């Protein structure tokens, strides 16, 4: 292929063997209501109504007593029925023999997306759940599978993603001998990166334990949960009373009501009005919990500068907005320096703050005060500074917008413009690569970034303006970005998804490329290849730790590796070619595309 005078080297992928998902299968599930999170909208049966249900079920069993195998409810069937009622029919997993009893004769109305290593299904499910704004189910394999998944579970925990993680366990009668597949302490293994973990004490409790897990995962602050399912529980038959109890459990709902005191909103707005130069600092929870529009309105009404807090997953504000100043770096001294001109900081939907490395300096500029609004009691408790308010983020933002009066202060100066795109050949400077990528993609693009030393350049060159448009791992654990981009594209089938990757980070979960190719998920992946762990070298300069081994990555062939998994892979040799390849990759809605470009190493 020849593009604008540059020679493109393309590797031809092998044809995928698995048929593509249907269009309906790629359609996102309905979003959770952001005003009140209700796992299911249904009535709870009690009293006389429950008695009627029991009688009806018993009559049904007696009428069909000639074919008991067709009428008896097993634990497995009850679990599937519970998950179906919660619309948890898309599973991400890597199964083993301890999961066979659950997965046998997999229902036609469910779908299972396979990852070749456990990091991949957890990362896919993480992004899928965040974008559909619904819980997602992950199916893993006993203790070793949970161990392999732990890094991604950490990311999901910090991302506050409602994942329902399940794994099989050895038969109860074989666990005491520590037979193969025994997870001796199943509820301990995933901790501390789950909100809750359980294993049913008896087989008949399995549906109730799963229902509890779903409700906990979806209760703010949301997060992953874990349920261990011994393999011999699945075929156990429930008697009539147990079956009725499970049906009632399946149909009950948990609703979270939200609100924010008007007088408290008025007090905060009075402080905003009295401030000389207020700033809003927003985080991922602004987007997770539906506060986007209200926060924009509040910033505009008060003429406040807006920053994104460090390491929160989503931007929380349109990155192309005139009031937006960028992402704060994760160091106390850096933050207090950047915010030196502001006397009041209102933090909404973010922790205060997530730091690394140790950067000496005050937490806040001299003379500044901070108000912190979060739905997470732990975030409120651990913040080193400021007055915290634990509340529903969306309700708080709407109440503040209603109470705020239009300010007459001048708007803060806008940040620097996106760098001009100039023709260049590889190795490209990071700003040149990402400016080319940003110019090639349409406004509705959903960006997933995990590019280490390139992240600052990305935020300068790519500025999405729509909600749910720039996703990264709040936890910072590498290996998340590539599977997350696949899960994001699965969730947002009507939007192009572009992954912004480093050559080091993408190899942690490289087999996500196989999943994308086999299921024909049309994600576009752009890789900045500097043949090093650049961000670690940058930290080494800051920490004054020279001559650290293991930071160079010679010999990686990203294009050949991607092609071996069935991806349409290309080597870009100039900025013009980057633009053309990104455009063609986004236009191809039948398969994934990877574009690799050599970039300059970090300056040390």
What's the full length of the chain, in residues? 604
pLDDT, one tens digit per residue, over 81-128 is 999 999 999 999 999 999 999 999 999 999 999 999 999 999 999 999
What percentage of the chain has pLDDT greater than the value 90? 84
**How many beta carbons lie within 10 A of that of residue 553, not counting itself?**
16
How sure is the predictor about 482, in pLDDT bands with cuts at 50, 70 and 90?
very high
Residue 331's alpha-carbon distances to 9, 304, 338, in angstroms, are: 41, 22, 11
Does the pLDDT at position 308 exceed 70?
yes
pLDDT, position 23: 36
Residue 420 lies in a domain: no
The angle subtended at Cα 31 by Cα 217 and Cα 122, nearest 5°, is 45
- At residue 312 the predicted structure's pLDDT band, cuts being 50, 70 and 90, is very high
Least confident of 3-17, 52-66, 424-438: 52-66
Residue 509 clears pLDDT 70, i.e. is over it: yes
Number of independent structural domains in the chain: 3
Choosing from 199, 224, 251, the residue where a domain stops is 251
Note the pLDDT tens digit of each residue in 353-384.
Answer: 999 999 999 999 999 999 999 999 999 999 99
Co-location of 246 and 279 in the same domain: no
Q: Same domain, yes or no, for 551 and 521?
A: yes
214 shares a domain with 138: yes
Residues 321 and 280 in one domain: yes
Q: Are residues 82 and 221 in the same domain?
A: yes
* pLDDT for 181: 85
pTM, rounded to two decimals? 0.88
Same domain flag for 234 and 268: no
- Cα of first residue to Cα of last residue in the chain, in angstroms, is 36
pLDDT of residue 71: 52
CATH of the domain at 214: 3.40.50.970
Res 502 pLDDT > 80: yes
Evaluate if residue 70 carries a pLDDT over 90: no
Say whether both 230 and 290 belong to one domain: no
Give a yes or no: residue 581 inside a domain. Answer: yes
What is the pLDDT confidence band of residue 31, given thresholds at 50, 70 and 90? Answer: very low
Q: Are both 183 and 296 inside the same structural domain? A: no
Question: Residue 176: which pLDDT band, with cuts at 50, 70 and 90?
Answer: confident
Q: Give mean pLDDT, residues 501-517.
A: 97
* Residue-level pLDDT at 58: 37
- For residues 318 and 386, membership in a common domain is answered with yes
- Give the pLDDT mean for 403-431: 96
- 245 and 269 in a single domain? The answer is no
298 found inside a domain = yes
pLDDT score of 72: 72
**pLDDT surpasses 60 at 410:** yes
Q: Is residue 224 part of a domain?
A: yes
Query: Does residue 418 belong to any structural domain of this protein?
Result: no
Q: Indicate which CATH number applies to the domain containing 276.
A: 3.40.50.1220
Name the pLDDT band for 182 (thresholds 50, 70, 90). confident
Compute φ and ψ for 446, nearest 5 degrees. -105, 120
Average pLDDT over residues 477-505: 97
3 state DSSP class of 91: strand
399 and 434 inside one domain: no
Domain encompassing residue 276: 262-403
| Structural domain contains residue 330 | yes
Q: Is the pLDDT of residue 247 over 50?
A: yes
Asked if pLDDT for residue 57 goes beyond 60, the answer is no
């Amino acid at each position: 292929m020849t593009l604008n005078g540059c020679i493109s080297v393309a590797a031809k992928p092998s044809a995928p063997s698995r048929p593509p998902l249907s269009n309906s299968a790629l359609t996102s599930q309905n979003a959770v209501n952001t005003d009140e999170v209700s796992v299911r909208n249904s009535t709870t049966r009690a009293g006389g109504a429950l008695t009627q249900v029991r009688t009806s079920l018993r009559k049904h069993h007696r009428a069909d007593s000639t074919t008991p195998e067709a009428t008896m409810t097993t634990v497995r069937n009850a679990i599937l029925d519970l998950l179906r009622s919660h619309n948890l029919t898309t599973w991400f997993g890597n199964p083993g023999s301890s999961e066979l009893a659950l997965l046998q004769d997999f229902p036609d109305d469910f779908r299972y997306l396979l990852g070749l290593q456990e990091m991949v299904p957890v990362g896919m499910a993480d992004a899928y759940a965040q974008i559909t704004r619904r819980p997602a189910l992950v199916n893993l394999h006993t203790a070793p599978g949970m161990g392999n998944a732990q890094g991604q579970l950490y990311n999901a925990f910090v991302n506050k993603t409602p994942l329902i993680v399940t794994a099989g366990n050895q038969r109860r009668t074989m666990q005491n001998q520590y037979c193969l597949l025994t997870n001796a302490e199943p509820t301990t293994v995933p901790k501390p990166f789950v909100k809750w973990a359980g294993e049913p004490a008896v087989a008949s409790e399995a549906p109730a334990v799963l229902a509890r897990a779903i409700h906990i995962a979806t209760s703010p602050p949301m997060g992953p949960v874990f349920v261990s399912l011994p393999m011999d529980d699945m075929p156990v038959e429930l008697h009539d009373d147990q079956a009725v109890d499970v049906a009632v459990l399946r149909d009950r709902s948990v609703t979270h009501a939200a609100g924010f005191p008007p007088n408290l909103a008025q007090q905060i707005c009075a402080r905003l009005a009295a401030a000389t130069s207020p700033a809003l600092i927003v985080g991922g929870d602004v987007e997770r919990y539906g506060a986007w529009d209200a926060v924009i309105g509040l910033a505009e009404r008060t003429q406040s500068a807006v920053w994104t807090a460090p390491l929160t997953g989503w931007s929380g504000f349109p990155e192309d907005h005139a009031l937006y100043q960028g992402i704060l770096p994760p160091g106390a001294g850096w933050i207090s320096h950047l915010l030196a001109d502001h006397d009041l900081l209102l933090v909404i939907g973010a922790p205060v703050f997530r730091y690394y490395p140790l950067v000496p300096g005050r937490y806040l500029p001299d003379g500044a005060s901070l108000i912190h609004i979060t739905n997470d009691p732990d975030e409120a408790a651990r913040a080193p500074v400021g007055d915290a308010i634990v509340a529903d983020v969306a309700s708080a933002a709407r109440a503040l917008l209603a109470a705020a009066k239009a300010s007459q202060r001048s708007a803060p100066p806008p940040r620097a413009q996106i760098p001009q795109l100039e023709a260049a050949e590889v190795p490209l400077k990071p700003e040149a690569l990402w400016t080319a990528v940003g110019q090639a993609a349409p406004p509705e693009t959903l960006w997933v970034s995990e590019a280490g030393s390139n992240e600052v350049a990305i935020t300068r060159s790519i500025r999405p303006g729509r909600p749910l448009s720039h996703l990264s791992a709040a936890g910072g654990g590498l290996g998340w970005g590539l599977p997350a981009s696949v899960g994001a594209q699965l969730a947002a089938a009507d939007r192009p998804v572009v992954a912004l990757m480093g050559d080091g980070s993408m190899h942690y979960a490289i087999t996500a490329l196989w999943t994308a190719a086999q299921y024909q998920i049309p994600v576009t992946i752009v890789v900045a290849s500097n043949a090093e762990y650049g961000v670690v070298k940058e930290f080494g300069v800051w920490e004054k730790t020279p001559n650290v081994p293991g930071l160079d990555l010679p010999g990686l062939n990203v294009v050949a590796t991607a092609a071996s998994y069935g991806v349409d892979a290309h080597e870009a040799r100039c900025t013009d070619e980057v633009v053309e390849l990104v455009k063609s990759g986004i236009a191809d809605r039948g398969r994934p595309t990877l574009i690799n470009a050599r970039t300059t190493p970090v300056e040390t």
